[in-house]
Structure 1
């Protein structure tokens, strides 16, 4: 019995000693190392959905700050991720990762959020804008009035302070519209066949974009693409002229019937836009930043 008691005392002493040594190892252990944010962009255009999945050697938890204005740290476990939405900005954002070890030691590191390259680069110097206050290269028809105004809604796809083209149509004609004579031609001879622009409307409405080299279709066949604006204010619309159809002339032109699908391959010096073509829709709309890209 005495021997058993001595053995039990020795076992308890060794066990307690091991726990003390183990706790000491935890307290004296290193802080986490090799901290990574593992940033993934879930889409290629702003606003960007970004996944952050932090990792680190020796970490059992993480605190993450997105770098967005007013953001605070969020606590997550190992193999967990957070998703943030980053707006378009002239400056990059920085994600801060705090890797936490079991002994509460912390390694903090920042990682820059670098947006992916815009797949839609401009192919001439600058898009058509109205920042100089001029509308000399813009024209309206069938009851459409145009003027240059300051951006009335700094949100959505156009949050910048700048001048924009205001389009007011009276709804008195089925094909109210306006046109823009470009400073540089839209060149569809290569693969760059997307016209992108920013358009503002507050109701769902079809927008038809037509490109011309000359009004009579004598050199390049008029081509058109129609998209639907959701009515959410400023939206960026991309008209892909790889999916164009021939505009209406009454008899066809250059051997291409009206309404036939075709891919334009020439240069076009102006475009025309119809808001709700075929319907009498009055209202005020805005346009900005017209450019061409792949």
Structure 2
């Protein structure tokens, strides 16, 4: 049998091999183009700032030192920002799933009364918003300004997540499954928690990843609604560190100014590594579900 399979294996022609070679070559070039900037940032953050500024760092770090990371670690607010961001990511992701997943499932059911009107109601904010000032006044009226929950509650409903979830549920959870569950005495809540959610791990993982990345990178909401330094996320803390270092480098003169500018540039690289590394470490574990979620979003519900 194995011999027959080997004999039936189609041999590639010379043109096909040339095409594959060109295709793999282009893919390799694209991978290098995508990965090299990240690699350069890492090696530049641990290299001698003089060599980095002179363009002598290309592929390997030189004059290895960790001055930028040591200076970052000396800021006590950095660890406070890390703690706050992790908490915002955890609670924000959980609350986003709690709000958007049930809404997406409800809109996917054809027998839902007012389904079209509710869909339009969710779609309108994607194109028209009240603006920053009305949103700020609304947040103020709910007494959420300068509180932990202002980073979690007001912006947890995301129409795009609902559309992706609705598409998944409409294509993957047929009405016949609900009818079969009814025959076994299963109600709406039991069907949703016992059958729908276990079958929806892929879309849940995708929305959780999107929500977590959004919370991790979020800085504008914190910039507008938070004043307490103890509540500020990592991105705001890193922004403040960069601004303070640039200010110091601009206020000094002579050799000290050149050294301060080099250190400020070095800290920029370290800041990128510190802010990006956790999410980059998380992504490989959910990459499969993420790719599937992109395809789900491309389908019409």
TM-score, length-normalised on structure 2? 0.20
TM-score, length-normalised on structure 1? 0.20
Task: Give the strand-richer structure, 1 or 2.
Answer: 1
Answer with 1 or 2: which has the greater Rg: 1
Task: Give the helix-richer structure, 1 or 2.
Answer: 2
